[in-house]
Structures are given as C-alpha cells and as structure tokens.
Amino acid sequence: MSGRSEPYELDLFGLTDIGRKREENEDQFLIASLSKSAQTLHSSLDEAWLADRLDCGRAYLLVVADGLGGLTRGREASGTAVEVVAEQISHAASCYYMSEIEREHEFIDKLEAAMERAHEQVKERLGADGRSAATTITMLTLIWPRGYFVHAGDSRGYYLRKGRLLQFTRDQTMADYMVDAGRLTEEEASQGPLKHVLLSAVGGQELKPSVGLVDFEDGDVLLLCTDGLTGHVPDDRIREILETTGDAQSACRQLVDEALAAGGTDNITAIVARMSERD
C-alpha cells in the first residue's frame, strides 16, 4: 500500500561547473532524500488510518562545499566533508520528525555534531603530512516547512520570498569580521583581499559553525551556492533569475552561465529548490 502524499511539492536541482580558470573542480554538492516510515503488509485495520499514522513523510538534505588546498586536495577535502555529514545525518533519523521543542534542539545538536565530525575527518585524512586542506560547507535539512541549516565559511544560503532575496548565512571571513567591528565599510570589505580570508572552515585551523533555522512558505525559492557564483553575479541579478525562471534546473543553468560569462574565475556550484504547497 502507498503512504500519504507530501503536503508540498519540491522542484530540486543542483549544478557544478569547473569555471574558466581552474584546473580542478574543488566544489562538491549533494541533494539527498531522507525518509522514515513503516509499510503495512497485512492488517485488519483501516488502510487509510494506518497510512496517515505510519508514514512520517520525507526530509531533504542539501549541501554545497567549496574545497581549499590546491590541486586535488581541495576536492578531497570537500568530498570527505560532504560524505561524512551525509552519513552522520542519515544516522540521526530518530530526530527527523519530532515536533517537540526538546527533540528539535536534539536534532540541531546532531547537525552541528555532523559538521564537527567532518572537521575531524578532513584533518585526520588530509592533514597527516603536515599540509593543510579545508572546505566551506553550507547545508540545510528541509522538514517542511522548516529548514535547519549549519554553515561554515563563505558559501551562502538565500531564499526568495515575494520578490525579496534574503541571505540567511553570514560569510565567515576576516572582511566580514572587520565590518562587524566597525573597521571596514561594506564596500571596502567587498573590494579588499580580506574577503578571501576564512575565519572558519571544515578542516581548517578553526571551525565555528553557525546554526539556525528558516520557516519556509508557499512559493519560496531556496538557493545554496559557492562563492564562484556570488563573486560574479550580484544579489539583484540572482533575485531576478530566481524570480523569472520557471523551474529549478533552468535557474541553476542560468546562474552558472552568467557566472561563466562574467569571467568564471572560480568553480561554480548552485542548488535551487522551488517550494509550493499542494492544493
């Protein structure tokens, strides 16, 4: 027997491109569907009643990562980190569908622990020879209508709502720190070299992940991306593309194409999710 249908529709797509200047694509991304349900094989009870109570729905894990380290080491760092967080979060299934506040806090703790585990694994696997390798990570677990995110580095998370593009992550760079401290203006920070100096990264000298949540609404469009996109395509243009493209695949393709047309000096990765409630 089939379970109940999801209360929303989700159009998802991810795309990565090496860009025009790099010899290796050090970006990685993941879109995964996570489910926790029981399937009734035989019962004397009403099938509709059972389906409603035993099917706990579906969660989605979205991750982008931008590796640092040069040659193949950056790709190994981002790949290791994405693999580890995916494995860790899949093991946290007991918390996915709990609505109680204390269980929600437990789930957020598990997301942060997954990031810490990835940090340890990158350092262990790639730091044994004394050379450094690290990666940014921006990941979001969607359990409609709530998205739980954990973030380290300068990849970004946005969502478009009713024509407004909102960034829910904060770049963890020296430039942003100096802006917060009142020592640089936003314009000075965006043009100076400190925007490339990370204060937090998986596998780096220090990891200080930011954790939070977003409550999504019907019609929202989510974007996770690396700085190869945002370094070339301004927020106003990102907003316009997300607002005018009809599906997630077209949005990803246009975002990447515009970053390439503007120079493509870095690897470029984007995940787009368009969300709508069922009638």
Q: What is the mean pLDDT of residues 92-117?
A: 74
Distance CA 71, CA 24 (A): 7
Residue 2 belongs to some domain of the structure: no
Burial of 261 (0-12, 13-18, 19+ CB in 10 A): exposed
Asked if 130 contacts 69 with a C-beta cutoff of 8 angstroms, the reply is: no
At 268, give phi and psi (nearest 5°).
-130, 125
- Residues 61-88 have a mean pLDDT of 89
Sheet of 55-68, strand order: 27-37, 55-68, 134-143, 146-152, 210-215
Helices within 138-266 (DSSP H only): 174-180, 186-191, 227-230, 235-244, 248-261
Residue 82 lies in a domain: yes
Q: Does any domain span residue 1? A: no
Q: Are 15 and 253 in contact (CB under 8 A)?
A: yes
Planar angle of CA 221, 226, 230, nearest 5 degrees: 75
* Domain-located, residue 176: yes
Domain that holds residue 237: 8-277
pLDDT of residue 1: 32
Position 47 pLDDT exceeds 70: no
Q: Can you give the CATH number for the domain in which 162 is found?
A: 3.60.40.10
Residue 32 is assigned to a structural domain of this protein: yes
Task: Summarize pLDDT for 148-189 with one digit per residue, the tens.
Answer: 999 999 999 999 999 999 999 999 988 887 877 877 777 777
Name the range with the highest mean pLDDT among 2-11, 85-94, 126-135, 192-201: 192-201
Q: How many domains does the chain have?
A: 1
What pLDDT sits at residue 3? 40
Asked whether residue 3 is assigned to any structural domain, the reply reads no
Lowest mean pLDDT among 83-87, 94-98, 117-121: 94-98
pLDDT in tens, 200-257: 999 999 999 999 999 999 999 999 999 999 999 999 999 999 999 999 999 999 999 9
106 belongs to a structural domain: yes
Of how many residues is the chain composed?
Answer: 279
